[in-house]
Amino acid sequence: MSTPTRRLTVAQALVQFLSAQYTERDGVRHRLIAGTWGIFGHGNVAGLGQALLEAGEDTMPFHQGRNEQAMVHAAVGYARQLDRLSAQAVTTSIGPGATNLVTGAALATINRLPVLLLPGDYFATRAADPLLQQLEHPVEADLSVNDTLRPVSRYFDRISRPEALIPAALNAMRVLADPVETGAVTLALPQDVQAEAYDWPEEFFADRVWHVRRPAPDLAELAEAVEAIRSAERPLIVAGGGIHHSRAEEALKALVDATGIPVASTQAGKGSLRHDHPADLGGIGHTGTAVSDDIARAADLIIGVGTRYTDFTTASNTLFQNPAVRFVNLNIAAFDAHKLAARTLVADAKSGLEALTSGLEGHRVTPAYEAEYRAGKESWERVVSAAFTAPDENAVPTQTQLLGVLDSVVGDDDVVINAAGSLPGDLHKLWRARGPRQYHLEYGYSCMGYEIPAGIGVQQAAPDTAVWSLVGDGTYLMMPTEIVTAVQEGLPVNLVLIQNHGYASIGGLSESVGGERFGTAYRYRAADGTFSGAPLPVDLAANAASLGMDVLRPKTVADLREALAAARASDRPTCVYVETDTATPTAPPAEAWWDVPVAETASRASAVQAREEYDRQVVDRRRHL
């Protein structure tokens, strides 16, 4: 008896296969690949383009992007909003279309968020050689520009023969749905192979469900973790993005309610606990709150949950100063659990937290410790209020006052997206995160340009939720392209565009490291050759309007309040453009260090002084062994 087969091209088979893949966790199913983004060129138009056309929207929804990197950002925003249970694919042409994916792929992989990349590739047969946009490596003839995607992908294959698609496609799904492995997955598709027909076994197209596992803790590791927590006097939980991916927010709250252990959060983990929970200390590390960083400095036990411990979290290894400090890391990835020489608890965040709560029954931190961190939280709340509140409603808002107005306008489930500039620090310190999906900071890659396309992906994933993409003027100029996509798809994403004429964040950093704000302001070239003339006459609001957005230009705090409310109520993509007051400092300073090495020798006094300060700070750096 022969196995039934279906004759399709490789591209047609891939689209059919992808449309039949599902994830399942806690009994709920999602489509693993819910749609495909694409920009066509000769590398994919006749292959995947034709296949998507033939499959139709019901089988595989298609989204048109404007920039390949931005398409990846949109897919990443989508996957993050859906806790990595559903993802999107991105098809590109060959050459520049493919290499434009690299930044997006790095972002996805670093943030552990799934995206399937399908770049076109050169002829497997070498029938046309070299073809348009082909890299001709003089020694390694099988190298293509797509090989730049290898180090930023969690799985990579090049489908040089039709039948190779079968194992590659299955492996791609395995990695995308794996909570440890997930990230960017690349299947490079030579353009001749895409169009080639093959008799595929019918079972390749059967519905397939990928269970997203929740591994339970090992009992010996659990016992050690419980013992460490029971004997700690000043424990602190560092909540990372793994809590959100696992939907472990309730489990975290249950542990905290039972034990009184306070929680400080990373950029990815903020919102794990509501801001008004008495044990929520807010952000930790370089951009953290005073209370988090004070508690962290004296903590004798750090319980990391779903965190990668980046330098922002550890204040470049200067934060955890108690000589007796120890670490317990609950993480689904052993790679992360082992960081800082921790006792490991390799498990899903939700199942691990639940197991800890049972193991810690009857245990609670001392009333003195609870009173100490609650008092710290109250005093930080006063800092937030001061930074958020404008004394005069008719004045031009500062950036933190803008955040205060936004705070008063958003609902619990609104999503606020940001990635780079001075906003991540202000948001991490000040934002009052409510619903668990509200605080959406991409800070693994901190990639300027993520915000607008990610807003589109989030809006696709949560059509009834108000989505706010917050961007600086520098970020806007780097990637405004997907505004057109939001307009085309009728997605009412709100853009808050903050004009401060350049890179305020890097300007400030530059000043602190002896760089004198070199090359960070958007100003005319002055007579002395430096960029210190008048601000440039660019009108970014007009630019957003020209791309199809509704635009509001509030000038004062009172106008801003009205504009944000109007944007939220509107069913059109709306840009709220604000020139902020940069002269009045309202952002609280950093509470902990960040290691940005300063010139060890320099002729300018600014760098010499900055190095002296650097040398004073660096002595606090510890290696936890």
Residues near Mg ion (CB under 5 A) are 472-474, 500, 504
Shortest CB 182 distance to ligand TPP, Å:
23
Q: In this complex, which beta carbon is closest to ligand TPP, that of residue 261 or of residue 544? A: 544
Closest CA to 281 of 360, 379, 367, 365: 379
CA of 194: how far to CAs of 42, 48, 157, 190, in Å? Answer: 11, 7, 14, 6
| Residue placing its CB nearer to Mg ion in the complex, 348 or 473 | 473
Asked if residue 503 binds ligand TPP (CB under 6 A), the reply is yes
Binding residues among 461-480 for ligand TPP as defined by CB under 6 A: 472-475
Q: Which is nearer to Mg ion, 442 or 473 (CB)?
A: 473
| Residue 130, preceding peptide bond in cis (omega within 30° of 0) | yes
Residue 432: which H helix or E strand, with range? none
Contact between 214 and 25 (Cβ < 8 Å): yes
Residue 400 and residue 560: Cα distance in Å, rounded? 13
CA-CA distances (angstroms) from residue 332 to 166, 209, 240, 411, 488? 28, 21, 12, 32, 39
Q: Beta strand pairing status for 550-552 and 87-92?
A: unpaired
Q: Is 32 in the site for ligand TPP (CB under 6 A)?
A: no
Q: Which is nearer to Mg ion, 306 or 472 (CB)?
A: 472
- Which listed option, Mg ion, ligand TPP, none, makes contact with residue 505 (CB within 5 to 8 Å by class)? ligand TPP
Q: Of the two residues 60 and 483, which places its CB atom closer to ligand TPP in the complex? A: 483
Which of Mg ion, ligand TPP, none interacts with 282 (beta carbon under 5 to 8 A by kind)? Answer: none
Radius of gyration of the chain (CA): 25
Decide if residue 447 touches ligand TPP (CB under 6 A): yes
**Minimal distance, residue 150 CB to ligand TPP, in Å:** 21
Closer residue to ligand TPP, CB minimum distance, 192 or 426: 426
CB of 422 to Mg ion, least distance (A): 7
Residue 450 binds ligand TPP (CB under 6 A): no
CB of 293 to ligand TPP, least distance (A): 22
Q: What's the CA gap between 455 and 467, in Å, rounded? A: 6
Cβ–Cβ under 8 Å, residues 86 and 173: no
Q: What are phi and psi of 6, to 5 degrees?
A: -130, 130
- 446, interface contact from Mg ion, ligand TPP, none, CB < 5-8 Å by kind: ligand TPP
Please state the closest distance from residue 517 (CB atom) to ligand TPP, in A.
Answer: 11
Does 72 help bind ligand TPP (rule: CB under 6 A)?
Answer: no
Q: What is the 3-state secondary structure (H, E, C) of 123-184?
A: CCCCCCCCCCCCCCCCCCCCCCHHHHHCCCCCEEEECCCHHHHHHHHHHHHHHHCCCCCCCE
Residues 400-439 that bind ligand TPP (CB under 6 A): 420-423
Which residue's CB is nearer to ligand TPP, number 224 or number 511? 511
Among 505, 510, 580, 606, binds ligand TPP (CB under 6 A): 505
Based on the shown chain and the rule CB under 6 A, indicate whether residue 500 belongs to the binding site for ligand TPP: yes
- Least gap, CB of 509 to ligand TPP (angstroms): 8
User: How many residues lie near ligand TPP (CB under 6 A)?
Assistant: 17
Site membership for ligand TPP, residue 448 (CB under 6 A): yes
Of residues 35 and 421, the one with the C-beta less far from ligand TPP: 421
The DSSP-derived string for 437-496 is TSEEE--SS--TT-HHHHHHHHHHH-TTS-EEEEEEHHHHHH--TTHHHHHHHT---EEE
Please report whether residue 111 would count as binding ligand TPP according to CB under 6 A: no
Which distant-in-sequence residues (6+ apart) come within 8 Å of 16 by Cβ? 6, 8, 55, 59, 205
Q: Does the footprint of ligand TPP cover residue 513 (CB under 6 A)?
A: no
Angle at 398 between CA 395 and CA 401, to 5 degrees: 90
CA distance 86 to 29: 9
| Binding of residue 504 to ligand TPP (CB under 6 A) | yes
Q: Could you give the CA distance from residue 608 to residue 598 in angstroms, rounded to a whole number?
A: 9
- Partner in contact with 267, chosen from Mg ion, ligand TPP, none, beta carbon below 5 to 8 Å by kind: none
Tell me how far CA of residue 236 lies from CA of 106, 151, 362, 373, in angstroms: 31, 35, 18, 10
Choose the binding region for ligand TPP from 366-374, 376-384, 502-510, 584-592 (rule: CB under 6 A).
502-510
Residues lying near ligand TPP in the complex (CB under 6 A) are found at 420-423, 446-449, 472-475, 500, 503-506
